[in-house]
Amino acid sequence: MTQMRTHTCNELRLEHVGQQATIVGWLENVREVGSTLAFAVIRDFYGTTQVVAETEEMVKCFRAITKESTVSVSGTVRERDSKNPKIPTGDVEVVPEKVEVLGRCHYNELPFEINRSREADEAIRLKYRYLDLRNPAVKKNIILRCGVVAAIRNAMIDHGFLEITTPILTASSPEGARDYLVPARKHPGKFYALPQAPQQFKQLLMTSGFDRYFQIAPCFRDEDARGDRSPGEFYQLDMEMAFASQEDVFAVIEDVLPPIFAKYGTYDIASKPPFQRISYNDAMETYGTDKPDLRIDLTVKDMTQLAKTTEFGPFQEAAAVKLVPCSGAELTRKQIDKLCDDVAVQAGAKPYWVRMDENGALVGGVAKFLVGHEDALRDLGLVPGSLGLIAAGTKDAARKMSGVAVKMLGAAVPGHMDEKRYEFCWIVDFPMFEIGEESGQLEFCHNPFSMPNGGLEILEKAEKGEMDPLDIYAYQYDLVCNGVELSSGAVRNHDPDIMVKAFEMVGLGEADVKAKFPAMYNAFCYGAPPHAGIAPGIDRMVMLLAGEPSIREIIPFPMNKNAQDVMMGAPSPVEQKQLGELHIAVVETP
């Protein structure tokens, strides 16, 4: 035990009755019962203990101490007359003989009640995060995170991986998001970049002869916040394996993660290996998303050809029409309208709907345009007693809308979601290239360092016009759990000739590759092993395990949605002298 205390506030039990004890912690509450009796609750990291003041002098002592001051209480442990079975120390209390204030709280009013801080406005919680973290319900998420990280680290070491840290100050490279730039004082006009991921470094470690690498890696991306993504920085289990295939990576992850999810998760059921594998195209067609929640038993059905035979203009004009049938959907018209509105918020467009009543007749929504097609709709799963949400539009829009409909119907209609479990799957066979929304040009779909399925030969065929480059697939894979993408990974492109040819497909020549990725290109020219890796997100993983809807709940000191640290006041202006040393001038943009 530490020098200041003999016991923690979660340690005293009936066997300690009659003993002298010293506890330290925060004064959580004082309840006075007359002038000679008061009950105080002392809270430390471990729990709470009741202290009973039974003299006028001691009651005055506690009355003079503001709540949330840190105190030391020494006294005798005794059995409580009125026990509290809700806490481990509920059978005993301490009768104080000496009370000392160690750190006074100088405010009579707190920004929120500590044990109810999660009910406060998030901006206030983040500003006073050090108070928010005193709440045991908030603190437990951080403790959970520590346990998960330790378990991951131990498991990776047991699998023969070496923990190696990679640089934080590095070179800017095009990896999909905006870089955080750091001006180089000794090199005017030049900048370091904080790594979006240790991607290049871990591949260089493979070329250096290390066989298995991992780290709990900090990553930095200047991107907007979402419920499952924190702006600024995040952490991932970064790993890479030399002389390895996709199957080797899958085997390690499927061995490491399920026991951790089963032990630390809100639910104690997790997928057993091998995880289900779904191709990207099949996922988009069957679930409307490449992040399917396999706890939901609803799937998407294609009704494009059927829709073309109707007289409904939006169906005839749409490139794709998708149906999400849901049995047992006993929803009112008002509930259906709200559901469709909620889908529109996330998908950007509102679905149509139709019911098939218990007699097999179509009613409501767009039913009048589908009368006569009952048998075809039954074949697609719209059985009597079902509700169908229909997405129409471009191929991508219909997929997205139907994917949101699956998720929302699964949550809204009882019996379609086995919520209390963790369901993993692999999404595989991603397209190597895509047409960029903004550029309209061919771009890498995911990781530019991935190995195309077919190697150099398939790229050359596309270059000659013998096949569509959009039909080239890569050895890329995503790990998905309960509809949340935990990770992307790939078998890496370790051949400089294939690397150059892949970049030529998106308009970058050999000189560009050498300029943008000089270390990797040169290293590959010295004999690189085939290698593969993945990087599951620690923050998202802990968010799932804790059952929290927001990733900020499992980060000790998170930024807000606008990438601001309101507690520390960051980002903040700096002195002109500092800017001068860095050769930077701040100018207003028009």
Residues in contact with 387: Cβ distance below 8 Å, sequence separation at least 6, in sequence order: 325, 326, 329, 331, 336, 353, 354, 355, 409, 413
Q: What number does CATH give the domain 14-103?
A: 2.40.50.140
Neighbouring C-beta atoms of residue 362, cutoff 10 Å? 21
Which regions of the chain carry the CATH code 3.30.1360.30?
296-412
pLDDT band (50, 70, 90) for residue 229? confident
Q: Check residue 110 and give its pLDDT.
A: 97
pTM of the model: 0.92
* pLDDT confidence band for 588 (50 / 70 / 90): confident
Right CATH number for 133-277+432-555 from 3.40.50.740, 3.30.930.10, 3.40.190.10, 3.40.50.11060? 3.30.930.10
Element (H, E) at 324: strand 320-327
| CATH 2.40.50.140, the chain: domain bounds | 14-103
Q: At what angle do helices 333-347 and 395-412 cross, to 10 degrees?
A: 130
In the beta sheet, which residues pair with residue 485? 480
Q: What b/e sequence results for 13-25 when a residue is b if at least 16 CB atoms lie within 10 Å of its CB, and e otherwise?
A: eeebeeeebbbbb
Query: Is there a contact between 182 and 222 (Cβ–Cβ < 8 Å)?
Result: no
Residue 551: other Cβ atoms inside 10 A: 23
pLDDT at res. 175: 63
Report whether CATH 3.30.1360.30 matches the domain 296-412: yes
Q: What average pLDDT does range 338-356 have in this prediction?
A: 96
Lookup: tokens for 510: 């050999």
Is the pLDDT at 574 greater than 90? The verdict is yes
Distances, alpha carbon 485 to alpha carbons 289, 307, 443, in Å? 11, 33, 22
What DSSP assignment string belongs to 236-293?
Answer: EEEEEEET--HHHHHHHHHHHHHHHHHHHSSSS-BPPSSPEEEEHHHHHHHHSSSS--
What's the angle, vertex CA 245, arms to CA 285 and CA 154, rounded to 5? 100
% of the chain at pLDDT higher than 70: 99
**CB-CB contact of 523 with 207 (8 Å):** yes
Q: What is the mean pLDDT of residues 207-229?
A: 91
- Interval 79-138: pLDDT, tens: 999 999 999 999 999 999 999 999 999 999 999 999 999 999 999 999 999 999 999 999
Instruction: Quickly state the pLDDT bin for 232 (edges 50, 70, 90).
Output: confident
Phi/psi zone of residue 116: left (φ > 0), alpha (ψ -120 to 50 degrees), beta?
Answer: alpha
Rounded average pLDDT over 285-308 = 97
Residues of the chain with CATH 3.30.930.10: 133-277+432-555
pLDDT at residue 103 in the model: 97
The pLDDT of residue 174 is above 80: no
pLDDT per residue as tens digits for the range 385-444:
999 999 999 999 999 999 999 999 999 999 999 999 999 999 999 999 999 888 889 999
Average pLDDT over residues 45-65: 97
Q: What's the pLDDT band for 228 if we cut at 50, 70, 90?
A: confident
Q: What is the pLDDT of residue 32?
A: 96
The pLDDT score that the predictor gives to residue 500 is: 94
CA distance 352 to 590: 44
Q: Which of 284, 326, 267 is nearest to 482 (CA)?
A: 267
Residue 194 confidence (pLDDT) above 90: yes
pLDDT of residue 294: 97
Q: What is the pLDDT of residue 1?
A: 53
Number of neighbouring beta carbons within 10 Å of residue 270? 18
Confidence of residue 573 (pLDDT cuts 50, 70, 90): very high
Neighbours of 239 (CB within 10 A): 26
Give the pLDDT confidence of 432-483 residue by residue, as tens digits. Answer: 999 988 888 999 987 888 999 999 999 999 999 999 999 999 999 999 999 9
| Separation between Cα atoms, residue 533 and residue 239, nearest integer Å | 6
Split at pLDDT 50, 70, 90, the class of 173 is confident
Query: Does the pLDDT of residue 7 top 60, yes or no?
Result: yes
Percent of all residues in the chain with a pLDDT value above 90, rounded to a whole number: 93
Confidence (pLDDT) at 590: 73
Which secondary-structure segment (H or E) carries 383? Answer: none
At residue 176 the predicted structure's pLDDT band, cuts being 50, 70 and 90, is low
Q: What is the pLDDT of residue 446?
A: 79
Burial class (CB in 10 A: 0-12, 13-18, 19+), 305: exposed
pLDDT, tens only, 371-385: 999 999 999 999 999
For 40-60, letters b (16+ CB in 10 Å) and e give bbbbbebbbbbbbbeeeebbe
* HEC letters along 417-435: ECCCCECEEEEEEEECEEE
- 3-class SS letters over 540-578: HHHHHHHCCCCHHHHCCCCCCCCCCECCCCECCCCCHHH
Confidence tier at 348 by pLDDT (50, 70, 90): very high
For residue 2, the model assigns a pLDDT of 61
* Angle between the N-to-C axes of helices 246-264 and 538-546, in degrees from 0 to 180, rounded to the nearest 10: 40
